[in-house]
A and B are shown apart, each in its own frame.
Chain A
Amino acid sequence: MKIYDKKLAYPYFVWMTLFTVVPLIIVVYYALTDADGNFTLDNLLSISGYGSVFARSLLLALIATVICLIIAFPVGYFLSRLRVNKQHIMLMLVMLPMWMNFLLRTYAWMGLLSTNGPVNAVLGFFGLGPFNMLNTSGAVVLGMVYNYVPYMILPLYTSMTKIDQSIVEAAQDLGASTTQTLLRVLIPMSVPGISTGITMVFVPAVSTFVISRMLGGGSNLLIGDLIEMQFLGNSYNLNVGSAMSLVLMIIVLLCMSFTSSFDEDEMEGVS
């Protein structure tokens, strides 16, 4: 039986080797060679000139992740406490925006936030503005939060459905205040959801290029834009582009190692 099990996994190993491992090796190869295929570190060193772009990407993605977490935590809790049939409806509402094309949603924000757009029109009705909202870092963060918040809500909701309501009641019976219940019971018990959510929001946010292009007006450049420019830019510089991807992967890896450490803590608590 055991042999059969192993064999069944082979197709996936082949798939993974062909489409994950080999491309990764190609990226590393390009990152460490010049146009003629000779070994060089110049590509990686040239990235230091783009420090501000990397800083902006990390910072904006971090802010977006925190905002997503703050928004999603109460939503996830609220969802998980609903009756099951209502949960399905509400979950569908959370996912509803994801049925629409990502580009379209972001493009719509471009119109909404513009100086003569609906948002400013409503504000103008109350005698405020017009504000210059488009083409700012704030607009980019907004785009990230809007697009990625479902990815934070879903894992939080899943992990929170596993929290028995009686535990929350017990905490309150034993005299814990709302804050104490939150800090001592709810948050520790939803840590797996939080760490998955952080990864699922931070990783796409740090590497996005469409959101910054549309909402950041091309002057709030992110790592994603920079990589895109290397491949679709004027000189078709695969090597520098690969080096940038490599650095981005390392950053993401660091981020993952941070969140996965929470998971292990949680596992220990269970056993």
Chain B
Amino acid sequence: MKQMKRFAALLLTAVLALSLPLSTLAAGTIEVTEDVSVTDTYDWTRFKGKNITLNVYNWGEYISNGSDDSVDVVSAFQKLTGIHVNYTTFDSNESLYAKLRSGAADYDVIIPSDYMVAKMISEGMLAKLDYGNIPNFQNIDEEYRNADYDPTNEYSVPYMLCTTGIIYNTTMVDKAPTSWADLWDERYSGNMLMFNNSRDAYAIAAFATGNSINPQSTEEVDEVVEKLKSQKPLVQAYVMDEIFDKMIGGEAAIGVYYSGDAITMIDDNPDLAWVFPEEGSVLSVDSMCIPATSENQEAAEMFINFMCEVDIGKANAEYIGYTTPMQAVWDVLDEDLKYSEIAFPSEEIAEKEKVFTDLSDEVNSELDVKWSEMKSYDEGGSGVIFLLLLLAMIALACFNIWRKLRKKSRNMY
């Protein structure tokens, strides 16, 4: 399979190489590298020599980075514009938020998901974009503009879409799972991987219990988290990107993750398969935004515009396997991905997709408290041991003080 792919890739580059002289003649493009050409109506070089550094903060494994013969998007951007990019990654919306709130670092481009975009907009953490500098915004499909999280579309440009679902190892399950409720099946005890992130894990339990993935009241949260608690004894581990190694290595029979990453995992281990659970799944839209604290907004907008170039969108979509919001990119995608049910699900499945919205502060903190409680919940109830240990420590400390006092009084004589 891999061999075949490599051969196909070789063939493709050969064809591309042959067609190169033609494509360079085509009007309106600048060639950056062999695989990347960008529109020439945009002034890409206006920051050249101005010694600008852009801090880009993205999800891990979320850009085409040059490995496995892919396009190195960041270095292509640097080569084209002369802007230096300092590229770093995060692993959850919440850690991105905490990092920004603490003011620990200045970022120029961030890529939060939908509900986090809404939260950041409401807290005034994002800068309004100047769409004059992002002409490629027209590439974004109509249906992904003016989404609920950014109704007037002043702050965000969709980067990639993905859905959550179940990935399982066909050699390790008797019957393919079909629904979220299957994650409460005793047969998978000790063989199941769950999200280590409250929002996504909550959504699974909400689907399984028939609740909304966006709880409105604290009682609702309590009920759904209770369901998660009942699942805990069956769960092998709560993971995020660690799932790659575990599913590919056959460590677990069944796991939950994002569709795009599932494509990557299935590429590496053909025994794996993906299913959209029948209750529906979470559609998330990760969008490029600029924090209000950015000092290089125009350069940041240039980066966003660059990411919306067709060639770049294609390189990214093919490398990370996520769903592109740009029709023009879909048109030129690799056949494998273009007709992949996982990346571009059927209408029927798409209809059942739900989107996260921002929760009220009260519900949010309830969710967090309950999630911590669920994670720390231990059936043994070792709270008593804690008290005993604490008492023992205090007793020891008192004993020490007493001993010291005694010594002092002895020394006086």
Residues of A within 8 A of B (CB): 46, 49-56, 58-59, 110-111, 114-117, 132, 134-135, 214, 217-219, 221, 225-226, 229-237, 251, 254-255, 257-258, 261, 264, 268
Contacts and interface: CB of A to CB of B under 8 A. Distances in A.
Nearest to B199: A234
A234 B368 contact: yes
B95 A52 contact: no
B356 to A, nearest CB: 12
Nearest to B198: A234
A150 B254 CA distance: 38
Contact of A51 (B232, B235, B383): B383
15 contacts: A52-B382, A111-B245, A114-B251, A217-B236, A217-B237, A218-B238, A219-B235, A221-B375, A233-B94, A233-B371, A234-B199, A236-B94, A254-B393, A255-B393, A261-B404
A216 B274 CA distance: 26
B237 A55 contact: no
B386 A257 contact: no
Interface residues of B, number: 52
B374 to A, nearest CB: 10
Given A229-B372, A233-B94, A258-B397, A219 B101 contact: no
A111 B371 CA distance: 28
B242 to A, nearest CB: 7
Contacts of A51: 382-383, 386-387
Given A236-B101, A268-B407, 17 more contacts: A50-B376, A51-B386, A52-B378, A52-B381, A58-B386, A59-B382, A110-B242, A116-B249, A117-B249, A217-B237, A218-B237, A233-B372, A234-B368, A235-B367, A255-B393, A257-B400, A261-B404
Given A233-B372, A254-B394, A217 B239 contact: yes
A144 B239 CA distance: 20
A257 to B, nearest CB: 5
Nearest to B394: A254
A241 B72 CA distance: 40
B94 A116 contact: no
A115 B172 CA distance: 13
B383 A235 contact: no
Interface string B92-128: 1011011001000000000000000000000000000
Given A236-B97, A236-B101, A221 B376 contact: yes
B95 to A, nearest CB: 4
Contacts of A225: 375
A267 to B, nearest CB: 11
Main secondary structure of the interface of A (DSSP, over half): helix
A251 B397 CA distance: 11
B386 A218 contact: no
Interface of B: 92, 94-95, 97-98, 101, 190, 196, 198-199, 232, 235-239, 242, 245-246, 249-251, 361, 364-365, 367-369, 371-373, 375-378, 380-383, 385-387, 389-390, 393-394, 396-397, 400, 403-404, 407
Contacts of B381: 52
A2 B347 CA distance: 83
B393 A217 contact: no
B114 to A, nearest CB: 15
Q: Which of A58, A214, A219 is most buried by chain B, counting CB atoms within 10 A of its CB?
A: A219
8 pairs of A and B residues whose beta carbons are closest in the complex: A217-B237, A218-B238, A55-B386, A51-B383, A235-B368, A52-B378, A51-B386, A235-B365
B372 A230 contact: yes
Given A229-B375, A232-B95, A251-B393, A55 B236 contact: no
Contacts of A50: 372-373, 376
A237 B246 contact: no
A229 B274 CA distance: 30
Nearest to A232: B95
Given A54-B386, A251-B393, A264-B404, A232 B98 contact: yes
Contacts of B246: 114
B127 to A, nearest CB: 21
B249 A114 contact: yes
B147 to A, nearest CB: 21
Contacts of A218: 196, 237-239, 375
A56 B378 CA distance: 10
Contacts of B371: 229, 233-234
Contacts of B249: 111, 114, 116-117
Nearest to A115: B251
A53 B376 contact: yes
A52 B383 contact: yes
Given A52-B378, A221-B375, A236 B235 contact: no
A50 B198 CA distance: 18
Nearest to A268: B407
A52 B380 contact: yes
A48 to B, nearest CB: 8
Nearest to A223: B376
